[in-house]
Amino acid sequence: MDDLQVNLSQPTEDDSSTTSGSDIEQFMTDLLDRLRSESEKNQLQLVQELAGKGEAGFQVLMQILLERQGQPTGPLEGKVYQILVSADLPQVHDFLQAHFPDGLVTLRSQRSIDYSEVQTLLAKQDFFAADKLTLEKMCELAGERALQRRWLYFTEVEQFPIEDLHTLDTLWRVYSEGKFGFSVQRELWLGTGKNWEKLWPLIGWKSGNAWPRYPGGFTWDLSAPRGHLPLNNQLRGVRAFASLLTHPAWEA
């Protein structure tokens, strides 16, 4: 099914039948069943529609996260979490504090790097700030000299721990509906036959013979082409970017 057509209307007092707790419970159960069976594209669309359905919709979204705790975190969970984070409801805030006090993604680092602020920014869809901070964290991962110069040598990228690259990539994929991330860029690069000149326009880093000016020439929201972000590596030269896309992390 390519296009999702759903009716998310709850039972109300205006219905010919009497609204009851069991009606609401069935409403939530039916929506959860649909979310379990739909394609990822349709799941994301349904989640967005649930966000506009008031308290019952948020109850379903919270139930989704509870059901999927302990499973690999993906774009669906990221979308749900983003919606709940932006909700101005005490019960939602309490739910997140009780079940996800440190965020949705487990932040593993072989070198004890703190990626919590990257997660916070991405959960808020502040992709511009998250991109800048991602480069900073990668420089921190490389060491003091990289932090001082604020860019990376390709040899430093080659030494990055697999665990840390997986953490950063997961954060970007989970909070971008699967559109952004190093592994996404690698997939597209391999799809071009490792042809850089084909990759740049594909991910929106070049138009004709013109390179976009930073930062206004780039797109900092989900309307960007797939693989558009993070872009800090492209700004520091292709050799470091090549080292990132050929890193053993993507074979693990």
Render pLDDT for 204-235 as a digit per residue (tens, 0 to 9). 999 999 999 999 999 999 999 999 999 976 66
Distance between CA atoms of 181 and 170, rounded to whole angstroms? 7
Tens-digit pLDDT profile for residues 75-119: 999 999 999 999 989 999 999 999 999 999 999 999 999 999 999
Domains of the chain listed by start with CATH number: 21-99 (1.25.40.620), 120-251 (1.10.10.1770)
Containing 47, the helix (H) or strand (E) segment is helix 40-51
List, in order, residues 6 or more apart from 55 with CB less than 8 Å away. Answer: 89, 91
> For the chain, what's the residue count?
252
Which of 109, 224, 219, 120 is CA-nearest to residue 167?
Answer: 109
pTM above 0.95, yes or no: no
Tens-digit pLDDT profile for residues 191-203: 999 999 999 999 9
